[in-house]
Structure 1
Amino acid sequence: IVDRLIPEASVVTEVAETEPVAAALNDTSIAVLPFADLSPDKDQQYFTDGLSEELLNLLVRVDGLRVASRTSSFAYRDSTLGVPDISKALNVGHVLEGSVRKDRDRIRITAQLIEAGTDSHLWSENFDRELVDIFAIQDEIANAIVRALAGELNVGGDKAVSVEAATDNLDAYEMYLAGRELYLSRIDLGESIRLLRAATELDPNFARAWEGLAAAEVIGDAWLAKDDIDHLALAEEAANRALVLNPDLSMPMAVLGLLAESIDKDIVASMELYEEAIKRDPKNTTAWLWKGILFDFAGFMDEAIEAFQQCLAIDPGYLNCKQIMAYLCVILLVELVGYAGFELLPPV
């Protein structure tokens, strides 16, 4: 299986892809920047990134609020640009930034909501808590932000954001976050798989850990091809276990779709599984990408381009999708002008 999720680290640059600038000062849109790790040993970046992403995913649920994708927002990690410039590039009216200091069983989270046009703080708060229930802390922060947004922008109404505890085991959750970050960056996929599997062993009912493990195992077939492990079988096992625990998950369906395409060579079944994954989560960019690649493989180029366009509409910073889209455009150009004409085109 060709790895179809390019490492996230490859798109973390000083300046991310600039989107069309159309954000008004009170635009109902927001970007969640990666929180800074202020822990004593500076070794909790995976935890702070996980918290930032969890908050982003919670804000996505707020009616009337547009949230910039993780890929686009996280490209500004350690950027020297100010909030107005970042917000202009991301085409958002507001930015959420903050920091996390984790020390043993205590955690201090600082979060602030900034209006991009004026670079002024709409809301800021510190949260000093015992690290007992991280999901309760996420719930508290997210709802404080939603209340601030509701007051300033009239979005979300009186509807509270509800955070469901993914696991009661904090060690399992931390292993999941660490494993997921390694999976996204591809720094050490073997270690990612080890951590995610360890999370499932600590809590066998941790559906999101099984989901993450399925995604890591399915690309491990290509990335770890020399380790003599049947990663595809392990991916299928993990995906099915995740769906038993939470039948509504999207990513395991996409993994099963990739397996149906790669192992069974069943294009119809694969497409049905991708469609189901997208139905469960219309913003699953991986499912859109894999669906587009399958369309291209089957010879439906127009449908492939449409899927890639949808992927990029959700996440403009998805580099792998942009690269494949560019490749297809070159193919279309060659077909349009013919190979002879293409060779005569002036260099650019």
Structure 2
Amino acid sequence: MLPFANMSADPENECFSDGMTEEIISTLAQVSDLHVASRTSSFAFKRQALDIADVGRRLNVGTVLEGSVRRAGSRIRVTAQLVKVSDGYHLWSERYDRELDDVFAIQEEIAQAIVSKLRAELLEGAAQPLVRKATQDVEAYTLYLKGRFYWNRRNEGALERGVECFEQALAIDPGFTLASVGLADSHNIFGFYCLRPPQDAFPKATAAASRAVELEPGLAEAHAALGYAQLYYDWDWDAAEASFRRAIACDPGYAMAHHYLGNHLVAMGRMAPGKAAFREALRLEPLSLIVNAGLGWAMYYAREYGDAVRQLQSTLEIDASFGLAHLWLGWSYEQLGRAEKALDAYQRAHIHLGGAPLATAAIARAQARLGNRSRAAGTVLDLEAETERYVSPYDLASVYAALGHREETFTWLERAFTGRSHLLVFLHVDPKFDSVRADPRFEEMVARVGVPPIPEDAA
């Protein structure tokens, strides 16, 4: 399904057309035996002038759904058409002119029409609605769509606006589970991107995800969001893995559940099954930026730096503005001894991540590798003095490790532990700390974090 075009006069309504597309994709993905390209893969084609045959080939699908949304006041017009990739034949088309209150019915009718054309044998149960009516309130639903629109942008300002939308949606309908999941996902990203202190971000994610699980135990997204906080903040390894596997059981096609499970397995030092989980996520979402980059990230921790470089370069071929891919590419270049290439990658990450301190720290580390020790030391002192934005103690410790300042490295690792830095779950497998790995304090820190010993047969 291609993103529905926003034909409204107000560009702000793009969040509505995008959100409607995402909800129809999610609905169709619930139909057994129906292969549906994910949201992230489909949206890679937004605003691209590609023919249907090319889209079908790249997404490995036989049919493509495209359309548009025009919203004016309380009225909405949706046009949709289902096109066969092989010959461009229109299998189905329809136009809906309705009141905005009918948006749920429109989504259901489109989904039912697609199923009837592609999977006639499934119509035995067609009397039951396909669309999951998470809320009946159009205002709450519109706020949710706006929240997801901002969440998908993944920058600090957009995430803040997304949180406001999810909270407003929940104020209208406290039982709106998808809005609770959106809130949990937002706080998890605040924590993972080091945009907020862990103790500010992850507990809020836990509260929102737990509420969603309580209200809708079969919702894969809720279990996955809960597992994320259990992994990165609670350091409850068994609970996190159970949540991820429960999410997969609820919806085996939910790529992010496999992606998050890969995070967990890599943290446990189980590299082979970890990479396998990332590859399954990639099979489900072949054009997702975070899924593509995630596999390269896992290869870095597996110390397969050449493979990691190739995977992350491939990710950047999809979208050269994806900051995390630049950051993780720099990690691998750094370990390959290519400090100049690492510095270039980190500088690009700094631009695309909005000057995030984690990218600034990476630049300082590359400067240290290049022998620009005074510049690196000055940067890390500036980061220590930063008061406007959160700076992860783990990142500061990594700069001191690159400078060979052992005492400062452990001082900041101790502060990372006190602040419950999520990156500590990777300390025992992170090459950035190889220079202090033989120090008894290193193993003591790993033991305090509580990550189980790496299995002897782990690869």
Q: 1:64 aligns with which of 33, 44, 50?
A: 33
Residue matched to 1:309: 279
Matched, 1:326 2:292: no
- Residue in structure 1 matching 2:111, options 142, 150, 170: 142
SS at match of 2:79: strand
- Output the amino acid matched with 1:304: G
* Residue matched to 2:395: none
Q: Which of 140, 146, 160 in structure 2 is aligned with 1:172?
A: 140
Alignment of 1:153-302 (within 5 A): 154=120, 156-160=122-126, 161-187=129-155, 188-223=158-193, 225=195, 230-302=200-272
Structure of larger gyration radius: 2
**Matched residues in 2 for 1:109 and 1:251: separation?**
27
3-state DSSP class of the match of 1:79? coil
Structure 2 residue ranges without an equivalent (≥5): 308-335, 342-459
Greater share of helix: 2
Q: Is the 8 A contact 2:253 2:284 kept in 1?
A: yes
The structure-2 alpha-carbon separation of the partners of 1:98 and 1:261, relative to structure 1 and needing over 3 Å to count, comes to: same
Seen in structure 2, the aligned counterparts of structure 1 residues 85 and 105 have a Cα distance that, compared at 3 Å, is same
Contact persistence 2:181–2:225 (CA under 8 A): no
Following the alignment from structure 1 to structure 2, what is the Cα–Cα distance between the partners of residues 140 and 335? Answer: 48
| TM-score normalised by L of structure 2 | 0.62
- Residue 109 of structure 1 deviates from its aligned partner by 0.6
Mapped partners of 2:108, 2:249: distance in 1: 26
SS in 2 for 1:195: helix
Deviations 1:103-148 (A, max 9, x none): 1111111001111111121211111111113211211222222223
- Secondary structure class of the residue paired with 1:231: helix
Q: Deviations over 1:266-325 (max 9, x none)?
A: 222221221122212212222211211221121111111111111111111122232232
Residue aligning to 1:39 = 8
Cα–Cα, structure 1 residues 82 and 232, in superposed 2: closer, same or farther, change >3 Å?
same
| Separation of aligned partners in 2, 1:334 and 1:140 | 49
1:156 is matched by which residue type in structure 2?
A: L
CA distance in structure 1 between the aligned counterparts of 2:234 and 2:130, rounded to whole angstroms:
40
Look up the SS of the partner of 2:101 in the other structure: coil
Q: Tell me if the contact between 2:203 and 2:229 (Cα under 8 Å) persists in the aligned partners.
A: no
Greater mean alpha carbon deviation, residues 217-226 or residues 135-144: 217-226
In 2: Cα distance, 1:164 partner to 1:292 partner: 28
CA change 1:334–1:179 in 2 (3 A) is closer
**Which structure features the higher share of strand residues?**
1
Equivalenced residues, count = 306
What's the TM-score once normalised by structure 1's chain length? 0.80
**Structure 1 residues 234 and 77, CA, compared in 2 at 3 Å: closer, same or farther?**
same
- Match for residue 20 of structure 1? none
> For residues 165 and 266 of structure 1, what CA distance do their matches in structure 2 show?
33
Higher relative contact order (CA 8 A, sep 6+): 1
CA-based RMSD:
2.6
1:131 to 96, 100, 107: 100
What do the CA deviations read for 1:126-178 (whole angstroms, capped 9, x no partner)?
1111111321121122222222334xxx5534432522322121111111000
Alignment partner of 1:81: what SS? coil
Residue 159 of structure 1 aligns with an amino acid whose one-letter code is G
| Cα distance in 1 for residues equivalent to 2:180 and 2:299 | 37
Cα distance in 2, alignment partners of residues 205 and 142 from structure 1: 24
Displacement, 1:335? 11
Q: Does the 8 Å CA contact 2:59/2:286 hold for their aligned counterparts? A: no
**Partner deviation per Cα, 1:234-288 (whole Å, 9 max, x = no partner):** 2111112112221222222222222222223222222122112221221222221
Task: Report how far residue 326 of structure 1 moved.
Answer: 2.9
- Structure 1: 5+ residue runs without aligned partners? 1-31, 337-341
What percentage of residue pairs aligned between the two structures are identical?
A: 37
Partners of 1:136 and 1:65 in 2: CA distance:
21
**Greater mean deviation of Cα atoms: 204-213 or 227-236:** 227-236
Assess if the C-alpha contact under 8 Å between 2:184 and 2:209 holds in 1. yes
